Amino acid sequence: MSASPAVSSPDRWIVLKFGGTSVSRRHRWDTIGKLAKKRGDDNDARVLVVVSALSGVTNELTAIADGAVDSARRVEALAQRHREFAAELDLDVEAVLGARLSALQGLLADPRARSRTLDWQAEVLAQGELLSSTLGAAYLRAQGLDMGWMDAREWLHAVPPAPNQSEWSKRLSVNCTTAPSAEWRQRFATQPSRLLITQGFISRHQDGGTAILGRGGSDTSAAYFGALLGAKRVEIWTDVPGMFSANPKEVPDARLLTRLDYYEAQEIATTGAKVLHPRSIKPCRDAGVPMAILDTERPELPGTSIDGNAEPVPGVKAISRRNGIVLVSMESMAMWQQAGFLSDVFEVFKRHGLSVDLIGTAETNVTVSLDPSENLVNTDALAALSEDLARLCRVKIIVPCAAITLVGRGMRSLLHKLSEVWATFGQERVHMISQSSNDLNLTFVIDEADADGLLPVLHEALIDSGAMPVYEGGVFGVRWRELNGQFRPRPLPWWHDAGKRDALLRLAAKSTPTYVYDLATVRERARQLKAIAAIDQRYYAIKANSHPAILRALAEEGFGLECVSLGEIRHVLASVPGFAPSRILFTPSFAPPDEYRQAFELGVNTTIDSVEILQRWPEVFRGRRVWLRIDLGHGGGHHAKVNTGGKHSKFGLSVQRVDEFIDTARALGLTVTGLHAHMGSGIDNREHWRMMFDELAGFARRIGSVETIDIGGGLPIPYSEDDEPFDLEGYAAGLAEMKQVHPAFRIAIEPGRFLVAESGVLLADATQVIEKDGVRRVGLDAGMNALIRPALYDAWHDIANLSRLDEVRELDFGVVGPICESSDVFAQRVKLPATTAPGDVMLIADAGAYGFSMASTYNLRALPGEEVIDV
């Protein structure tokens, strides 16, 4: 490769395009000036600025070109608007705008105006950009910039029309040449100013008149200039931070796409995002000119870069929804083996000027979709189409439909990851599934009404399944919500504290694998729950973690202890000296009847959840006071396996059998003093408990003797950095509101995870680091026997290299254990320092709940140790 020349290369260009909203305010022009200068200086390049008309102006000009009756008034209003803006820019209105405004007014008097010839219309439409660029050039010069103005028509030339092009598109939706002559280059390079400004949207027609590039034309102008100049880069400056993985208005969790290849960007621009006009990508792609989409208000954000150099990253990059899709289903018995049927029906579409989007075929049916953004698909047009098609086949029009499209490279090899997506669609009626032949998109057509609210669900399913690889930091950036300050990141965990980290390293040196619990974190969570005034009684579900020090700490904080077995009850009584059995809540499930008998004898508050148990062992329950667990029929949680509600769950009395239960209980002299429900674990919807309380209060009134309503545990914690901390305030507010509605009942809760998960870490030694077929894995001396959550629920736990906590986490590793099972994997992919090596102390975070308590000695690996830090 030859060395780059030492002299500067002033003929290297950067093209910057600014849209309507970016040129309509004075402070925005200051930004344009600053950016143009900075881009030139930083890159030792010359800068070409391409601008749109002031916002709204092109719409007005279109009305005038269409012959609006009040055109004269509209022209005057436009003139006035530009005069006012010139004044706001402190320009000499007459000197800067006089000639331009007379040209605009002159067009109304032009003889062509009467018949509204297309060349006249093009000239009318061109005025908006001519005005805005003239104002901008004058303003930026007044600010001291060396800014030259040029007429884009001198430089962009429409290509000769294609044979089947309509007259309209030959003038008002043209394409331009992208191969400059030597003379063109020479002439361009010798323009005196270092910075230049010109118009988007307009070009020179073969006949020397004006031609228009069509909607989105300013992006395309910038792309043409970029291609002609062989520019270093084309930057499209807009009022959004770039392209997103979904429309952020519908999916606030959508991610900024920081880097795309031309083809993906083209597909996203075509099927969803309106940020960049799809036509603008091809010129840059053909010329190999990189593009960027950037936010004028927030120029410091990375934006979206589009180029052809990146290593392709397979996976879904974006999901979009288009409304108003029309499906035309054509049924013909005669179609079977009939040559030419498709050609006959498509000829009808062609005759009606309709361009077909998706196609599905069967032996006797062809279904196609029409996209309203490409076609005029009003009722008249469809009626006319149906009438003509009816001569060939049976026609059914299905409207309104929505097309949901997944875009990304390598769609075909992703199918195995899309099971959740299929499941989500499985609940809707899918009219059509279409996969693009370029392997870049997969589209589902469903009824428009079914599409409401679907995008956030699909977006999350795509991330959870790994089909949308948001961990690819080179492609996916921040969430929309974060950009708008609507994301509360989880605070840095306790083990980042230097003192605690040292303590952990000392404990790890003694023995691994070992769980370590930070009691200060347990107490902090306990106090957060104690601060919720609406709650009268708090239990801790000890199944999450029954370490005696934790039980004692929570007992000191005033918590009762919820147990699910006689074993847990005995453990509590042995570990917490003097703990009153009445502070224990026993919530067994299908337990042997003797456990109930013993619990009553100990004086433990006991929950039952069936009629059968009373019928089969009446003597155990006669005359007792109990709580009743009800299944409210709908559960939730972080995984299907922790959902404890509904027909498929073994827990709780069906609401259908409450009356039967009351009768049976009454016959036994049994008093129901509490109602209980726990519908799942890790529920991320703060409304859930409020609604539970409300529903249980209804049953409590029916029963009469109920004093306490226990709304269970299930509070989530933020396991990944994508999760926000639980909205405790919202939870508290909902309960306070319910307390006012049902003041007669005490509220009890019984969380496990929330109190202890974040307090615990699992420390393990790295045993081996191995590369296989491009995948780097670090092995630990802890396996799924020590922490089963990832294997059992696909649960995510962050993993850090505690020995190298200060090093950059730059490389992807799989983290695995020593157990003889394929599911012995803590993380398929987590970023760790590149230097990670055998002997390092690895930390698995947020393992305080359902960690040790679910550990086993599988493969005859010893149980992990347990330690407590209490400082």
d(C-alpha 426, C-alpha 301), whole Å: 39
Q: How far is the CB of 604 from ligand LLP (least distance, A)?
A: 15
Does 752 bind ligand LLP (CB under 6 A)? Our answer is yes
Is residue 544 part of the contact set for ligand LLP (CB under 6 A)?
A: yes
Binding mask 765-794 for ligand LLP (x = CB under 6 A): ------------------------x---x-
Q: If binding is defined by CB under 6 A, does position 326 make contact with ligand LLP?
A: no
Question: What is the b/e burial string over 163-188, where b = at least 16 CB atoms within 10 angstroms of the residue's CB?
Answer: eeeeeebbbbbbbbbbebeeebeeeb
Shortest Cβ 546–ligand LLP spacing (Å): 12
Q: Which is nearer to ligand LLP, 445 or 522 (CB)?
A: 522
Q: How far is the CB of 362 from ligand LLP (least distance, A)?
A: 45
- How many residues touch ligand LLP under the rule CB under 6 A: the total is 21
Please give the C-alpha separations between residue 689 and each of 535, 696, 704, 751, in angstroms, as whole numbers: 12, 10, 22, 12
Half-sphere exposure of 351 (CA within 13 A, CB side): 13
Residue 681 CB, nearest approach to ligand LLP (Å): 3
Contact call for residue 586 and ligand LLP (CB under 6 A): no
- Shortest Å, Cβ 680 to ligand LLP: 8
> Which residue number, 493 or 712, has a Cβ lying nearer to ligand LLP?
712
The count of C-alpha atoms lying within 13 angstroms of the C-alpha of 617, restricted to the half-sphere facing its C-beta, is 13
Comparing CA positions, the residue from 13, 10, 5, 4 lying closest to residue 290 is 13
Please pick, among 284, 393, 563, 820, the residue that the annotation labels catalytic: 820
* Smallest separation, CB 253 to ligand LLP (Å): 22
Decide if residue 750 touches ligand LLP (CB under 6 A).
Answer: yes
Sign of the Cα torsion 165, 171, 172, 177 reads: positive
With binding defined as CB under 6 A, does residue 642 bind ligand LLP? Answer: yes
Could you tell me which residues come within 8 angstroms of residue 178 by beta carbon, excluding any fewer than 6 positions away?
224, 227, 228, 283, 286, 287
CB of 318 to ligand LLP, least distance (A): 31
Under rule CB under 6 A, which residues in 415-444 are in contact with ligand LLP?
none
Distance, CA of 52 to CA of 236 (rounded, Å): 11
Alpha carbon distances (Å) from 354 to 161, 255, 266, 345, 381: 20, 35, 22, 12, 9
Is residue 718 a contact point for ligand LLP (CB under 6 A)?
no
Q: What are phi and psi of 434, to 5 degrees?
A: -135, 135
Stretch that binds ligand LLP, among 143-151, 253-261, 676-684, 819-827 (CB under 6 A): 676-684
Count CB-CB contacts under 10 A for residue 615: 13
Our CB check for ligand LLP shows the closer of 408 and 635 to be: 635
The residue sitting closest to ligand LLP, measured at its beta carbon, is: 713
The residue count of the chain comes to 871
Return the structure tokens found at 489: 């990141």
Do residues 628 and 700 make contact, with C-beta atoms less than 8 angstroms apart? no
751 is an interface residue for ligand LLP by CB under 6 A = yes
Tell me the one-letter amino acid at 391.
Answer: R
- Residue 294 or 756 with smaller CB distance to ligand LLP: 756
Helix (H) or strand (E) holding 653: strand 653-654
Mark residues 836-855: x for contact with ligand LLP by CB under 6 A, - for none.
Answer: -------------xx-----
Rounded least distance, CB 733 to ligand LLP, Å: 20
Scanning 69-77, 300-308, 595-603, 752-760 for contacts with ligand LLP by CB under 6 A, the matching segment is 752-760
Q: 246: helix, coil or strand? A: coil
Render 459-508 in DSSP notation, one character per residue. Answer: HHHHHHTTSS-TT-TTTEEEEHHHHTT---PPPPPGGGSHHHHHHHHHHH
For ligand LLP, the closer of residues 156 and 584 by Cβ is 584
> Minimum CB separation from ligand LLP for residue 868, in Å?
20
Question: What is the per-residue binding string for ligand LLP in 792-811, x denoting contact by CB under 6 A?
Answer: -x------------------
The residue range among 54-62, 206-214, 549-557, 674-682 that interacts with ligand LLP, by the rule CB under 6 A, is: 674-682
Tell me the backbone φ, ψ of residue 187, rounded to 5 degrees: -60, -40
Amino acid letter, 35? L
Tokens 């091809």 identify what position? 282
Q: Is 284 annotated in the active site? A: no
Closer to ligand LLP by Cβ: residue 494 or 793:
793
> In the beta sheet, which residues pair with residue 712?
none
- Minimum distance of ligand LLP from residue 852's CB (angstroms): 12
Figure out which of the listed residues 24, 512, 546, 587 binds ligand LLP, where binding follows CB under 6 A.
587
Q: Which of 849, 846, 810, 813 lies closest to 828, judged by CA?
A: 813
SS3 559: coil
Written as six digits, the tokens of 38 are 């900075």
Instruction: Name which of 476 and 689 has its Cβ closer to ligand LLP.
Output: 689
Each residue 330-359 as x (binds ligand LLP by CB under 6 A) or -, in order, gives ------------------------------
Q: Of 495 and 539, which has the nearer Cβ to ligand LLP?
A: 539
Smallest distance from ligand LLP to CB 851, Å: 8
For ligand LLP, which residue of 317, 417, 753, 797 counts as binding (CB under 6 A)? 753
Q: How far is the CB of 41 from ligand LLP (least distance, A)?
A: 56
560 binds ligand LLP (CB under 6 A): no
485 C-beta neighbours (distance < 10 Å), count: 7
Binding mask 678-717 for ligand LLP (x = CB under 6 A): x--xx-----------------------------xxxx--
Question: Which C-beta is closer to ligand LLP: that of 58 or that of 587?
Answer: 587
- Can you spell out the DSSP letters for 70-108? THHHHHHHHHHHHHHHHHHTT--HHHHHHHHHHHHHHHH
414 by Cβ neighbours in 10 Å (0-12 / 13-18 / 19+) ranks as buried
Cβ proximity to ligand LLP, 54 vs 544, nearer residue: 544
Cβ proximity to ligand LLP, 227 vs 642, nearer residue: 642
- Of 187 and 641, which CB lies nearer to ligand LLP in the complex structure? 641
Nearest CB to ligand LLP, comparing residues 20 and 712:
712
Q: Are 69 and 147 in contact (CB under 8 A)?
A: no
Phi and psi dihedrals of 780, rounded to 5? -120, 160
Give 159-162 contacts, CB < 8 A, sequence gap 24+. 160/206
CB of 245 to ligand LLP, least distance (A): 28
Q: How far is CA 117 from its chain centroid? A: 47
**Residues in the site for ligand LLP, rule: CB under 6 A?**
541, 544, 562, 587, 642, 678, 681-682, 712-715, 750-754, 789, 793, 849-850
Could you list the active site residues? 820
